[in-house]
Chain A
Amino acid sequence: MVEKVEFKTYREMPIRPMTVTDMLWNRTGSWRNVRPYYDFKTSPCKAGCPTGENIQRYIYLVTENDYEQAWKTIIDSNPMPAVTGRVCFHPCMSNCTRGEFDEPVNINAIERSLGDKGIENPGWMKRSKPSKKEKVAVVGSGPAGLSCAFYLARQGYPVTLFEMEKALGGILRWGIPEYRLPNDILDKVVGAIVDSGPITVKTGVKVGSDIGLAEIDKEYDAVFLGLGLTRSREIGVDNEDCDGVHPGLEFLKKVNSGEKVDPGKKVAVIGGGNTAMDVARSALRCGSDVTVFYRRTIAEMPAIREEIEEAEKEGVKFYFLSTPKEIVAKKGKLSSVIFQKMELGEPDDSGRRRPVPVEGDTFEMGFDSLFPAIGEQADIDGFSGHLETEWNLISSKGEYGETSNDKIFAGGDIVTGAASVVEAIAAGRKSAERIGRFLSKEEEPVDTPDTVVGIDDMNTAYFSKVDQNRVPRIPASEIRGTFREIKTGYTAQLLHSEADRCFSCGVCNYCDNCWMFCPDTAIKRNKDDYEIDLDYCKGCLVCVEECPRSALSTREEGR
């Protein structure tokens, strides 16, 4: 197209004053003093996700109807979206830019839909072959252990997965009730992970007693400990061992294994965490009348807000600022509980206000069952001498779960204390990556800081307010006597409608604004991206300003 036209004399000029060529000879790029360039940044949802799921990417792929690639995008950082899509406390959503505009995108529900599609399409899971000779032992098959085993197998390491119970899943199986995470879903997720590569499963083996840690240390080239917290904490009052008082986690385990349990007519649950909520709502489903007692107020409860709200909606009663002072037993059986009223004092180390007893203010209530759910502890007595521990947890030196023993790595609740499923998954994956580098003697990668975009970087003129699509659920009136899953999940239509709400912060989603508004026609629209023609870009930066999602940046010329 570029044709230079030169006339030596007027005779060479065309007889009619007509255009003979275009203006491409005029390289207006030389006018420019600032240059725009495509510069994709990190969306806040990804930055907020402990396991760093590329959320923007998979939501974009949903809008493109490419569920398989969307699912594979999640699997790169989390092997169980069908689980996290149900039980995650979704910090991604608290970080969502859209939350500052109208309502956050329901990332959790989108993740669940994709996780379920992964279960429907087992062929999507790539099978990895054992390509390495070094063997790795993974102890514990909760979220941390499963995640670590999965990412080790993906790298080609043969993994032996030790589990003390008869079935895999750990806290996912024994601690989370079926109405939140159905067993058949968990079975399929666990099955897919175990089948994805060279993973050998040894159930019913408790490391630390059935087999020593030293033995495993000797037999394997590396070890990952993801044991979780398995011992329920005691309240520390008299008669705690009487009939009718059971640790909450034990009750959940019975219920989850399908055992018929009758906790009686009146049930008290002690605690304000997620386990307490799970116990309370499970007891409700067994037909009991449930009251939760918490020593602080609702504002200090560590449970996921949604869980508390749902428990309330379903009919769980709450007593705040009350803690059991005495358990009254008759003939070795629980009859009533005397509670001490509390008030909030000075803030403690966690920043929450410490509850202090109100002298002389007590009350008594009769119960058939009492379930303390005030936290769990690690069961690592068998490891003493082999590993450094602190506060009955395994001490970790670095962010990849390195312990005092070079060959042994640890992650999840056993290192952090009670945390979340997604944090355990992240820890398992990070350790798997670190173990791979340890075994292949690879250098540690250099961390490049992410540029995270926020609402102020967005051009919100291109967005309009749209309410979040609520997840369909069974009515609260229908929950008694059944452990049927509460949330029925998005329909295809709701899934797309919700995915369309994503701002795609910091990453191009081909909205065409830059290409469309360029006054110099200097942006080329390729098949998969856009390209700035610097021969003609005058540097007006309209493209940068009109990009709704801050996917372009600028640089001064000559610097």
Chain B
Amino acid sequence: MKQASIPLEEYMGSGHLACQGCGATQAMRFALKALGPQTALVIPACCWAVIDGSFPHSCVQQPIYHTAFETAAVVASGLKAGLEMRGDSETTVMAWAGDGGTFDIGLQALSGAAERNEDIIYVCYDNEAYMNTGIQRSSSTPYGAWTTTTPVTNYKRRPKKNMIDIMAAHEIPYIATASTAYPHDIIRKMAKAKEIRGTKYIQIFAPCPTGWKLAPELSVKMARLGVTSKVYPMLEITENGQKLEVWKDFEPSSVREYMKPQGRFRHLTDEELDGIEREVEANWQRLLAKEKMLGSIPGLA
């Protein structure tokens, strides 16, 4: 047998409580493989607060601090400070929150931690709604999506919040998006984040078959098509928000191919899909323009 293409060590075991085909679970498995055993996790209310298992059991070998919804970033900051006080500067502290706990409820704590440039990795596994509590809309839910609080007749008519730009405005050393379809990329980005001092924000695109009304086996495929259809661009922002790199080296696919298998978009008419396609392309062009603009400012790399 050939050498394994990703680290063999497993820190996330079986028996957890995630749904079939859960993207957030894959994301955790890859992240832990990259960060290794000397890592402490802070998890606020979110799917992962449940997936992990019921007290006193945990499917994850690294210690987890379960905390309140709005406090992931600040608890992680405190945990890191406590470890430093005791002379431990080696342990990586990772806050691991869903999009509700990041885009909405935990935003102030995250903003505070980022502004202070606390030495933590903050990961948002983005499944685009409050999945754990029953699929309610979050500010990460994309335009056009069904949720239980934006039912079909009244689907979400506001765009997804641009969290990356918000984080970039904090001028932190490392920001990246990733997707569960690209494990090697997640592992590379997590390993890179581990080596950087300061606040690292990584947003992992993690499909939720249950909340997206999607066949579980298509979980990875959606994570891939989301990227190749340019709906969810893969990017890295370094040098305190001054350098943007967008991944472009892929075979492009259509937005419709991405949306069609997902029940949460089933009600959209052809006209509405056309509109979404135009918006995706416009966002993509804006992103590329921004990448070019940042790269052409004299004195900046």
Residues on A facing B (Cβ under 8 Å)? 1, 5, 13-14, 17-28, 31, 64, 461, 464, 510-512, 516-517, 519-522, 525-529, 533, 535-536, 538-542, 544-546
Contact = CB atoms under 8 A, between A and B. Distances in A.
21 contacts: A5-B57, A19-B64, A22-B61, A23-B14, A24-B14, A26-B15, A26-B57, A461-B221, A511-B5, A512-B4, A517-B183, A519-B18, A519-B21, A519-B22, A522-B14, A525-B4, A536-B15, A541-B216, A542-B216, A545-B217, A545-B218
A511 B2 CA distance: 8
Contacts, number: 122
Contact of A26 (B26, B53, B216): B53
Q: B12, B20, B56: which has the most chain A beta carbons within 10 Å?
A: B20
Given A521-B14, A525-B4, A536-B14, A22 B57 contact: yes
B57 A519 contact: no
B17 A516 contact: no
A21 B4 CA distance: 28
Nearest to B21: A540
B216 A23 contact: no
B219 A540 contact: yes
Contact of A528 (B1, B5, B217): B1
The A interface, classified by DSSP as helix, strand, loop or mixed, is: loop
Nearest to B27: A519
B85 interface: no
B297 interface: no
Contacts of B4: 512, 525
Interface in B1-47: 1-2, 4-6, 8, 10, 12-18, 20-23, 25-26, 29
B56 A14 contact: yes
Interface of B: 1-2, 4-6, 8, 10, 12-18, 20-23, 25-26, 29, 52-53, 55-59, 61, 63-64, 180, 183, 209, 216-221, 224, 251
A28 B16 CA distance: 8
Contacts of A528: 1
Contacts of A540: 20-22, 209, 216-217, 219
Given A25-B15, A525-B8, A528-B1, 12 more contacts: A18-B63, A22-B15, A24-B15, A26-B15, A28-B16, A516-B183, A517-B220, A519-B20, A522-B14, A541-B217, A545-B220, A546-B221
Contact of B221 (A13, A20, A533, A545): A545
A35 to B, nearest CB: 12
A520 B17 CA distance: 9
Contacts of B20: 31, 519, 538-540
B14 A520 contact: yes
A23 B58 contact: yes
Contact of B1 (A464, A527, A533): A527
Nearest to A509: B2
A521 B57 contact: no
Nearest to A523: B14
A404 B251 CA distance: 60
Given A512-B6, A520-B25, A23 B13 contact: yes
Contacts of A23: 13-17, 52-53, 57-59
A217 to B, nearest CB: 52
A464 B17 CA distance: 36
Given A19-B56, A21-B56, A519-B21, A533 B216 contact: no
B56 A5 contact: yes
Contacts of B63: 18-19
B220 A521 contact: no
A346 to B, nearest CB: 47
Contacts of A541: 21, 216-217
Given A19-B63, A21-B56, A21-B57, A544 B217 contact: yes
Nearest to B66: A17
Nearest to A31: B20
A516 B185 CA distance: 13
A546 B220 contact: yes
